[in-house]
Structures are given as C-alpha cells and as structure tokens.
Amino acid sequence: MISFLQNNSMQPKLTSLQTRLFQAKAERKISFAELAEILGHEEVYVAAIFYGQAKPTEKDLARLSKALNIPMSHLTEAYGPQFYPDRGGLMENPPTDPLLYRLYEMIQVFGYPIKAVIHEKFGDGIMSAIDFSAKVDKEEHPNGDRVVLTLNGKFLPYKQF
C-alpha cells in the first residue's frame, strides 16, 4: 500500500473516506491532473479535496463518484452540506516529511524577502489564501528537472480604522 496510507504519527490524519479516495485513485491509476480535467478544477485543488482541505460541490462529488467508482451516497455522507474543511492541522510543525520540510525551509529562508518585495510592490497587506490558486509544473533542465510552483493570491491591503 502507498506510504501515506500507513497509520503513522508523521503521516497526515485522514478519515476513512479520504483514505478510500486515495485507494480508489491508486487502483484506477488516475492522476490528480486527470481528475482535475474531469472535475474542472486545478490539480492542487482536487488534491485538497482528497485531504479534506477543500469543500467539493455536489457536482464535484458526482464526478468523483463516477471516476473513482465510489457510491455517491458515501461521498455525500462525508462531504455533504454539514462538511466544512478543518484547514491546516494535517501535520506537525516543523514537518518531518522531507519535501514538506523543504517548503517550510523555503518560507523560513525566503519568507521575509518575499514579504518585503510584496510590500514594495503592493503596500501594506497580505496575499490571500482564500482567493488563491496553486499550480505545480515540471520544467526539464539539463542539470536536473525543476519544480515550478505558482502561488497566485489576491492582494488584500490592511485597512486603517
């Protein structure tokens, strides 16, 4: 079985249905990119649904049900009108997974420099994680393939009162 499904304190806390989503995805050998095409969302958003970090619509659930061969009733029972994501809290801080730790490290090292550039360009405010999208691309490079992360968030200026 895939390592993220192991019951390990370093692994994200998933519900039984979230684990089932990952199992069905693996059994059907379907990627997040393929599911994104089916659902009409970006692949990072679809992955967020799997981790319980995004609220799928009924249309999303119907499409997931068909793509993953999971009864719609099972999906609506877990992700119905009563479901609201409990965002964050899937991992300890700092994270112990090497990839997640490197992202954390990037924020530790480049967080303030990025913040300074944002303030210079936009003023006093923040980048929204609500009005937000994320994309992961692969860029081939002779010295080793590159991961290209695009984080696209609306700028929200701080209000004076």
Whether 102 is catalytic is: yes
- Total number of residues shown for the chain: 161
Residue 139 bears catalytic tag = no
DSSP characters over the chain: --GGGS--TTS----HHHHHHHHHHHHTT--HHHHHHHHTS-HHHHHHHHTTSS---HHHHHHHHHHHT--HHHHHHHHSTT-----S-SS-SS--SHHHHHHHHHHHHHHHHHHHHHHHHH-SEEEEEEEEEEEEEEE--TTS-EEEEEEEEEEEEPPP-
Residue of 27, 28, 77, 128 marked active site: 128
Q: Please tell me which residue in 77, 105, 133, 146 is annotated as part of the active site.
A: 105
The answer to whether 55 and 85 are in contact (CB under 8 A) is yes
Task: Verify whether residue 146 is a known catalytic residue.
Answer: no
Residue of 102, 120, 133, 140 with catalytic role: 102
Active-site amino acid positions: 102, 105, 128
